[in-house]
Chains A and B, each alone.
Chain A
Amino acid sequence: KAGVTQTPRYLIKTRGQQVTLSCSPISGHRSVSWYQQTPGQGLQFLFEYFSETQRNKGNFPGRFSGRQFSNSRSEMNVSTLELGDSALYLCASSLIIGQETQYFGPGTRLLVL
């Protein structure tokens, strides 16, 4: 079975722009979660989607948003980028929401200049 895939793997943007990241979960997995990883803050939970609905949200500003499609693929959007948004964005999938084990993708590394 193919693992979690994320595209693109690397992105460079400038302040004020917006960006969209994509995540395809493991086949059959219906829950997708997003995390931000930075050297200073570590791994922080952004949000979780299941059945095309956001079910759980972390403490991030409204500039961070996401959605999930009927095939369980998910996208994450960040508007009005700030320098502090530079990070590795990780996507994780699990069979159902609340299931104990999440499987992670390779991440998208975003650099904001």
Chain B
Amino acid sequence: AQSVTQLDSQVPVFEEAPVELRCNYSSSVSVYLFWYVQYPNQGLQLLLKYLSGSTLVKGINGFEAEFNKSQTSFHLRKPSVHISDTAEYFCAVKAALRGSNYKLTFGKGTLLTVNP
């Protein structure tokens, strides 16, 4: 089984400041890793994903994340945030077994609030 820990439930930052949202996972098998964003009263939108290859993954809206296998982390970063980035961010993990029925397991979420 997999589990995900998002270390910060809330992260307030000022506009144009850099931000890092932290995510750690545990799993007995190789995993795929994802970050989703949820804006108020909306569903989840895929920001980026790590499946294999380069450990630095670039996503939409200027976000990027780095997979660190030794530290079992997948932290999300953006060098300069905008007011419009205010949303809840979810880290998720899925067992990397082709054809498996393993479900997507989510962290509890991090609420990013960007202040002017």
Contact = CB atoms under 8 A, between A and B. Distances in A.
Contact of A101 (B43, B46, B101): B46
Contact of B36 (A104, A105, A107): A104
Interface residues of B, number: 27
Chief secondary structure at chain B's binding surface: loop
Given A56-B103, A100-B32, A102-B104, A43 B43 contact: no
Contacts of A100: 32, 49, 51, 94, 96
B45 interface: yes
Contacts, number: 54
A42 B101 contact: no
Contact of B103 (A33, A42, A90, A103): A33
A90 B106 CA distance: 13
Contacts of A64: none
Given A48-B101, A98-B100, A106 B46 contact: no
B43 to A, nearest CB: 4
13 contacts: A42-B109, A43-B90, A45-B105, A48-B101, A48-B103, A92-B104, A97-B99, A97-B101, A103-B46, A104-B36, A104-B44, A106-B42, A107-B42
